[in-house]
Chains A and B, each alone.
Chain A
Amino acid sequence: MKKLFFIFILFLTVTISATAQDMELFGPRKGFGFVPQYTISGGLRFDIDRSVSKKSNQWLIFSPQFFMVSGNRYGHDFNDMWGTGLDIKHKIFLKPGSMKPRGYYVQYGVLFQYFAMTDYRQYTDIFVVDGVQYYGVLSGDVSTNLYKFGGNFHLGYQWLIGNKVFFDIYTGAGIRISHNSRNAGFDTWYNNSWVDYGYSGTLLDGGFRVGVYF
């Protein structure tokens, strides 16, 4: 772990130490992106990119996201569901001597998501027959709040088209920890797979985004 930390610090130092004189310059310091694959989860995610140094090619990316689903999704029958979240990442381009946000990069960050949902589903409840207590599985409308925390580490490649438009693909690993207001501890009902809203565990993450710098 110590080794990894030192490698990371060394990498940051090398990245930051490049001087402005050597640099291939890039004018825009802000960007706006869109992550289309979030529509699969019934969500929209927009990225606000902000350059954080005039001397090195590092960016902070704030990604607010909004979800709204009614109907069937990932094996759930939602009467209604909405959610919101925020993803914050630090992105470091690896090409030395260039301020242009293109080429290979690494990024890491944290995220939080909140979902409020009501869906028709099965749930466990107590019933008593002749003084003996049982747990049965019933069906009905159930309201749940989900809180999901996580972190990601990505490697990616970004194309810069005409100094304005960017196209960005990335892949990496992440972790998610979800809490369900109905169940103590980790969530189970919305934890059917790594794409599910209440997933807890590690995952291989990936995606792409498009946007513009201004």
Chain B
Amino acid sequence: MAYSGKWRTNQQYKPGKHVKQADSREIKFIPMKKSIFAVFFTLISLGLGILLSGSDPVTYGEYTPVYMDRSEMENAVKIEAAQPLKTTGKIYLYGQYILVNEKYRGIHVIDNSNPAAPVNKFFLHIDGCIDMAMKNNILYADNAIDLIALKTTDNFASIQVTQRIKGIFPETESPDGYWSKYSINQFRPVNGILVAWEKTN
């Protein structure tokens, strides 16, 4: 053993022997390495504390999630008066009508019987909608994580949800990829369904 400390008695240290003497006199030994070790670790951890106190500032993504209660989401499917097109998505042609998706909010119904002057007729409010298809007057659309079938009249004057397959789609990811599943769930209200991503200022 190569201790660098100093013995306080004149007795020699014998490796492997007990440090306690037969006459109960105790050898006092100050192991310098251990003292230095203790001081070193104390200083290192204090330094770490000071360094970490100035960690990176908190940043947020460009989009935030919007949630709805399931019952609210299901009951909110309805026809509304025509609305201006803002953040549009897919376009679908059905007979004389052009269906234009308003991202996460629903579907614009545009009467294109006169292509020179199309008329914005209705807005189908379907939260979480980003896609649609139509056949035999049945409009198929995603209502967030559900697939719904809507029976319409020829002129879209009325709609009726005839079928709903729950939870068939995954929730959409944040457009900027900022939000993890963990973060989405961290803000999710009880029984909340993610229906949209809203751009923050």
Contacts and interface: CB of A to CB of B under 8 A. Distances in A.
A124 B41 contact: no
Contacts of A120: 58
Contacts of B41: 36, 167, 208, 210
A115 B104 CA distance: 39
A40 B54 contact: no
Contacts of B186: 188-189
B35 interface: yes
A133 B69 CA distance: 8
A53 B80 CA distance: 80
B55 interface: yes
Interface string A110-150: 00000000001111100000101111111100000000000
A72 B56 contact: yes
A99 B102 CA distance: 77
Interface in B71-122: 72, 76, 80
B58 A135 contact: no
Interface stretch (B9-17, B60-68, B158-166): B60-68
Interface residues of A, number: 40
B189 A124 contact: yes
Contact of A133 (B37, B46, B72, B200): B72
A37 interface: yes
A137 B127 CA distance: 17
Contacts of A196: none
A69 interface: yes
B34 A136 contact: no
B28 A36 contact: no
B1 interface: no
Contact of A72 (B58, B125, B195): B58
A76 interface: yes
B52 interface: yes
Interface string B38-57: 10011001101110111111
A161 B187 contact: no
B189 A72 contact: no
B72 to A, nearest CB: 5
B97 to A, nearest CB: 23
Interface string A152-195: 00000001011101010000000000000000000011000000
A109 interface: no
B76 A135 contact: no
B55 A72 contact: yes
Contacts of B125: 132
A122 to B, nearest CB: 6
Contact of B76 (A69, A132, A139, A208): A132
A165 B42 CA distance: 13
Contacts of A17: none
A95 to B, nearest CB: 13
A19 interface: no
A182 to B, nearest CB: 12
Given A122-B187, A137-B187, A75 B52 contact: no
Contacts of A136: 64, 66-67, 198
Nearest to A127: B66
B30 interface: yes
B46 A39 contact: yes
Nearest to B8: A162
A39 B50 contact: yes
Interface of A: 24, 34, 36-40, 42, 69, 71-77, 120-124, 130, 132-139, 159, 161-163, 165, 167, 188-189, 208, 210
Given A34-B42, A132-B127, A162-B30, 6 more contacts: A36-B41, A37-B49, A73-B53, A134-B68, A137-B64, A137-B187
6 contacts: A36-B41, A36-B49, A39-B46, A39-B53, A124-B67, A139-B60
